[in-house]
Amino acid sequence: MQTWIDDRHCSDSASTLHTRLGLPLLSEASAEHFYDPEKDALLSWQTPKKSVMPQLTLIPPNTGAISIDFLGGKKAHRRQFGGGKGQPLVRAMGSLEERLPDVFDATAGMGGDSFVLASLGFNVWMNERSPIVHALLQDALERAQNADDLEPETREIIERLKLTNGDSAEIIRHSEQQLETIYLDPMYPEKKKKAATKKEMAALQQLLGPDMDSSDLLDAALSKASYRVVVKRPKGAEPIAHDTLPTTAVQSPNTRYDIYVIKTLKR
Confidence of residue 84 (pLDDT cuts 50, 70, 90): confident
Handedness of CA 142, 79, 183, 23 (dihedral sign): negative
pLDDT score recorded for residue 194: 47
pLDDT score recorded for residue 189: 56
What's the rounded mean pLDDT across residues 183-203?
A: 64
Q: Which domain holds residue 154?
A: 68-265
Handedness of CA 131, 101, 236, 198 (dihedral sign): negative
pLDDT score recorded for residue 86: 87
Each residue's pLDDT tens digit, 156-181: 999 999 999 999 999 999 999 999 99
With a cut of 60, say whether residue 82 has pLDDT above it.
no
- Residue 7 located in a structural domain: no
Instruction: Report the C-alpha gap between 248 and 162 in whole angstroms.
Output: 28
Number of separate domains in the chain: 1
**Residue 100: which residues within 8 A CB-CB, separation 6 or more?**
93, 120, 121, 122, 123
Confidence of residue 92 (pLDDT cuts 50, 70, 90): very high
- Residue 54 located in a structural domain: no
pLDDT score recorded for residue 81: 46
Contact 129, 204 (CB under 8 A): no
Q: What is the DSSP letter of 66?
A: B
Q: Is 185 annotated as a binding residue?
A: yes
- Residue 22 located in a structural domain: no
- Residue 24 located in a structural domain: no
- Residue 152 located in a structural domain: yes
- Residue 163 located in a structural domain: yes
Query: Hey, which of 82-96, 169-183, 207-221 has the most confident mean pLDDT?
Result: 169-183
Is the pTM here over 0.75, yes or no? Answer: yes
Confidence of residue 195 (pLDDT cuts 50, 70, 90): very low
CATH code: domain of residue 171: 3.40.50.150
- Residue 28 located in a structural domain: no
- Residue 148 located in a structural domain: yes
Q: Is 69 annotated as a binding residue?
A: no
Q: Is 128 annotated as a binding residue?
A: yes
